[in-house]
Structure 1
């Protein structure tokens, strides 16, 4: 299916909305305890369980509207489903918290394996979005692999040493903002490698 044109605001809402909804639900029920089948579940775990179908609905809508989903989106969704299921099954919020560490760690490892083979797997995923010379892609991949590794370690520190409330806020706002700013800074610094589209013929 070919990619379709979609309102960019709506696209952003579908991409970021589930995380914001999870945050709002968590704030609303964080101090509550719910009993299902004789087992008590914290508000955090209930919010996690609710988050999974909301994410799937948003991704389904995004696929219908745009005609495609990125490999990163699909992979992240699979991780959310897997660790959300473990969180619910074992009634243990640590599984969902460590998801961020594992996902970012896997991104760092995957990019690192590509670099060891002399390839930029980032270019394979984002090459259509950012036309850039091979050297630029290699530099960006090295830096982003390092960035993902730092985020994975930071998440481990946060969820192991801070409260659930602090982790939810940092996971929802601080980590995405840090990644966005890091990516933006790298693109700015690597402008000399960006391939400009050909101008009109004389």
Structure 2
């Protein structure tokens, strides 16, 4: 049971902007998801006084919180993952564009574009023989190359699925007098459970073909 939990934590890190497995990882949950929780709380507070612009201002607060988390991560670990830097740049860029243009659609589309880019990077990495998933968690798992590619393709398709889901959600629950509440709740409490469920579904593949690095695969006898 403990090994399976380790696998879930490590594989979830592959889909989220976290340091690589061999980096120091105390309190990474708060560094990764703290800004998102700040965004949620800010939105809930701001919508009481100005529901029309609450999401825009909450996006700005989200960007500031993401930059602070990036700085804290550097001060604690003296290293930052490329995905963490990339995701922070995307958050700040989209939040700034949405805030200064007054167009919330720009921020609605951030998860679509980010997950789409992750999907392209992961599947493209398989094509050019630079498996992104293996580069990120290869120190944690021992798997044949073919299985690493299968795992990467699955993650890539999952990222594309998240992009599609986000498009469906924001296009059907916002605009035309509807509030932003459903989309904000889904952004905060929807994507993470979906990622955890997908990660759990990959454990059988990992168990069949390898396991945690440093542990011998059980004999079939």
TM exceeding 0.5: yes
1:178 aligns with 2:178: no
Q: In structure 1, which of residues 94, 105, 115 is the aligned counterpart of residue 105 of structure 2?
A: 94
In structure 2, the partner of 1:38 is none
User: Hey, what's the Cα distance between the residues in 1 that align with 2:31 and 2:127?
Assistant: 35
Higher relative contact order (CA 8 A, sep 6+): 2
Does the 8 Å contact 1:71/1:125 carry over to 2? no
| CA deviation profile, 1:74-95 (whole Å, cap 9, x unmatched) | 1111110110111012111111
In structure 2, the partner of 1:113 is 124
> 1:71-86 maps to which residues of 2 (within 5 A)?
71-86=82-97
Q: In structure 2, which of residues 33, 37, 45 is the aligned counterpart of residue 16 of structure 1?
A: 33
Gaps of 5+ in 2: 1-21, 175-179, 217-221
1:197 aligns with 2:214: yes
In structure 1, the partner of 2:6 is none
Does the 8 Å contact 1:30/1:42 carry over to 2? yes
| CA deviation profile, 1:113-156 (whole Å, cap 9, x unmatched) | 22233442221233234343312211110101110011000000
User: Hey, what's the Cα distance between the residues in 1 that align with 2:141 and 2:67?
Assistant: 27
> 1:101-180 maps to which residues of 2 (within 5 A)?
101-163=112-174, 164-180=180-196
Aligned residue pairs, count = 189
How does the TM-score come out when normalised to structure 2?
A: 0.78
1:49 aligns with 2:69: no
RMSD across aligned positions (CA) = 2.1
In structure 2, relative to structure 1, the CA distance for the partners of 1:131 and 1:65 (3 Å cut) is farther
In structure 2, the partner of 1:30 is 47
Q: SS where residue 197 of structure 1 aligns?
A: coil
User: Hey, what's the Cα distance between the residues in 2 that align with 1:15 and 1:188?
Assistant: 27
How does the TM-score come out when normalised to structure 1?
A: 0.85
User: Hey, what's the Cα distance between the residues in 1 that align with 2:207 and 2:23?
Assistant: 28
User: Hey, what's the Cα distance between the residues in 1 that align with 2:76 and 2:23?
Assistant: 7
Q: SS where residue 84 of structure 1 aligns?
A: helix
Q: SS where residue 103 of structure 2 aligns?
A: coil
Gaps of 5+ in 1: 35-40
